[in-house]
Amino acid sequence: EPEVTQTPSHQVTQMGQEVILRCVPISNHLYFYWYRQILGQKVEFLVSFYNNEISEKSEIFDDQFSVERPDGSNFTLKIRSTKLEDSAMYFCASYTPWDSSRGYTFGSGTRLTVV
């Protein structure tokens, strides 16, 4: 079964550094998302992306965050200057309305630790 692949599985970074989290969505999916889950808390929406542009973003997704799909297969989340409170699990998800019975397919997540 097709999967959403995220790399790395775990990233440790120093406060103030830039990080890029990478995702390879399912190839025929058209809608892409980033969610985050602070340890022990609920999963929160960050941003959705369609047709090479952001379709919706949450209040969390401020100027420190950016997304892009640089080469038609990868979908990246960049955090420009990480803060301690950015430590969380980040999930990528993809979706196509033509196979909506599967719902959204999530990756395994990247655990980001900011020290």
Q: Which residues bind other proteins (CB under 8 A)?
A: 31, 33, 35, 37, 41-45, 48, 50, 55-56, 58, 89, 91, 93, 95, 97, 101-109, 111
Helix (H, G, I), strand (E, B) or coil at 92: strand
> Which residue's CB is nearer to other proteins, number 19 or number 36?
36
In the complex, minimum distance from the CB of residue 112 to other proteins, in angstroms, rounded to a whole number: 12
> Which residue's CB is nearer to other proteins, number 18 or number 67?
67
Instruction: Count CA atoms within 13 Å of residue 73 on its CB side.
Output: 5
Which neighbouring-strand residues pair with 76?
22, 68
Which neighbouring-strand residues pair with 32?
49, 94
- Sign, CA dihedral 15-111-44-80, equals positive
In the complex, minimum distance from the CB of residue 12 to other proteins, in angstroms, rounded to a whole number: 17
> Which residue's CB is nearer to other proteins, number 14 or number 51?
51
